[in-house]
């Protein structure tokens, strides 16, 4: 069965060998404070920077999941509140977790048919400021939360918006959930402060590891906040990674597999080209097909890595039947879109033949 599920998703086929190697090389019993682990960690961090073009002044730490990052960010980087702007279920979940940490957390839910641009962000932030009765601009100790790629509905935030928001809010930190886009597209690191992802989507790896990338401004804020209260407070995570260690026994196997996969991957610019070419073929196939429709109407909001397709419930049943017969598993619609949409992962681990097969199905459905 070929899985086009959006997570957990298809893993790189080389994992069969990498897992065997891990067993033979004693990775599964490796001491996480030992020299060998430190070397592996150092190499993995260097590979991440090199392959994903992460700026040298940014810091990388590991967590267990994107969900954990949802908590770490409000906990360790903000004083009173975070500001959430989203149009789907993952963005909303982040807000829910954050609002359990800070009561004053603010949110706005946009419709899937809206374009997320600077104006939308400004209107929301100005509104919350006025309601808070503040005379001065937005509290400079706070943080704006955005979902770079909304996996639930196949929408993304355009690069132009990312740049505009960064340039207009120079005092606030800006955090991006890029769980289903990191390692699939080239992220504009310099226009954001916190970028994080789990590895079971675009990295083509099994779940249980998350990568968090932090700007120098985020590190400065973290030091200023000085939060050490939690097992996953960012400051001890940061201090440990300086020594190529972690606060607790990490997912050593996950880190090893990440290192092995990164070694064989091309630079992200090359991967992005492939992903975008494939996305275009999928989108064109859907647009040309009268029985199918794209869930995201504005072209600039359409994700490169998750394709969400709308159809009738009857057509959906037929689509599932056809794909299953072809040995393909597609992703179900999420949440309110369960009955009339399906999702296709456009993740790099899927190979040429698989992508061509899927494109043909969309074309001739
Ligand atoms: C999958 C996903 C998550 C959750 O990842 P976990 O590893 O299960 O915590 C969070 N955000 C987005 C955008 C996702 O796609």
pLDDT at 117: 97
- Reference 10, options 240, 356, 351; nearest CA is 351
Closest atom of ligand 1 relative to the 198 alpha carbon: 7
Q: Is the CB of 71 under 6 A from ligand 1?
A: no
Task: Give the pLDDT band (50/70/90) at residue 67.
Answer: very high
Residue 268 in this model has a pLDDT that exceeds 50: yes
Q: 109 φ, ψ to 5°?
A: -105, 120
pLDDT at 164: 98
Q: Is the CB of 153 under 6 A from ligand 1?
A: no
Query: Per-residue pLDDT tens for 288-332?
Result: 999 999 999 999 999 999 999 999 999 999 999 999 999 999 999
Residue 130 in this model has a pLDDT that exceeds 80: no
Average pLDDT of every residue of the chain: 95
Task: Give the pLDDT band (50/70/90) at residue 139.
Answer: confident
Question: What is the per-residue burial (b if ≥16 Cβ within 10 Å, else e) of 278-293?
Answer: bbebbbebbeeeeebe
Q: Is the CB of 64 under 6 A from ligand 1?
A: no
Pocket test for ligand 1, best of 64, 66, 85, 153 (most atoms within 8 A of CB): 66
Q: Is the CB of 44 under 6 A from ligand 1?
A: no
Q: Is the CB of 181 under 6 A from ligand 1?
A: no
Query: Per-residue pLDDT tens for 47-63?
Result: 999 999 999 999 999 99
Residue nearest to atom 12 of ligand 1 (CA): 179
User: DSSP class of residue 248?
Assistant: S
Residue 136 in this model has a pLDDT that exceeds 60: no
The overall pTM is greater than 0.85: yes
pLDDT at 185: 98
Pocket test for ligand 1, best of 5, 8, 67, 155 (most atoms within 8 A of CB): 67
Residue 138 in this model has a pLDDT that exceeds 80: no
pLDDT at 128: 80
* Sole residue written with tokens 């969400």: 308
Q: Are strands 328-329 and 2-3 parallel, antiparallel or unpaired?
A: parallel
Q: Is the CB of 151 under 6 A from ligand 1?
A: yes
Closest atom of ligand 1 relative to the 207 alpha carbon: 7
Q: Is the CB of 204 under 6 A from ligand 1?
A: no
- What's the token pair of residue 343? 């999702």
């Amino acid at each position: 069965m070929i899985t086009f599920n959006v997570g957990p998703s298809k893993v790189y086929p080389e994992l069969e060998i990498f897992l065997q190697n891990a067993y033979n090389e004693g990775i599964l019993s490796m001491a996480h404070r030992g020299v060998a682990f430190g070397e592996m960690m150092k190499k993995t961090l260097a590979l991440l920077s090199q392959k994903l073009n992460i700026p040298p002044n940014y810091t990388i730490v590991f967590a267990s999941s994107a969900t954990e990052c949802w908590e770490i960010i409000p906990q360790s980087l903000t004083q009173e509140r975070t500001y959430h702007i989203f149009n789907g279920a993952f963005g909303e979940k982040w807000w829910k977790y954050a609002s359990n940490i800070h009561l004053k957390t603010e949110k706005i839910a946009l419709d899937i048919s809206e374009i997320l641009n600077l104006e939308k962000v400004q209107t929301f932030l100005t509104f919350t400021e006025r309601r808070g009765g503040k005379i001065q601009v937005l509290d400079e100790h706070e943080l704006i939360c955005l979902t770079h790629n909304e996996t639930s509905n196949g929408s993304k935030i355009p690069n132009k918006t990312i740049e505009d928001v960064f340039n207009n809010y120079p005092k606030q930190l800006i955090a991006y959930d890029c769980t289903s886009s990191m390692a699939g597209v080239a992220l504009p690191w310099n226009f954001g402060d916190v970028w994080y992802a789990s590895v079971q989507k675009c990295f083509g790896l099994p779940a249980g590891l998350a990568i968090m990338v932090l700007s120098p401004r985020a590190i400065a804020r973290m030091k200023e906040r000085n939060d050490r209260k939690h097992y996953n407070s960012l400051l001890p995570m940061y201090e440990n990674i300086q020594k190529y260690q972690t606060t607790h026994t990490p997912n050593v196997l996950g880190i090893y597999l990440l290192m092995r996969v990164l070694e064989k991957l091309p630079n992200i610019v090359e991967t992005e080209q492939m992903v975008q070419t494939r996305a275009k073929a999928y989108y064109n196939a859907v647009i040309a097909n009268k029985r199918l429709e794209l869930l995201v109407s504005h072209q600039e909001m359409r994700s490169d890595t998750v394709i969400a397709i709308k159809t009738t419930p009857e057509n959906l049943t037929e689509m599932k039947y056809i794909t299953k017969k072809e040995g393909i598993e597609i992703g179900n619609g999420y949440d309110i879109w369960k009955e009339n949409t399906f999702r296709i992962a456009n993740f790099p681990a899927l190979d040429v033949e698989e992508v061509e097969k899927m494109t043909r199905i969309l074309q001739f459905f």
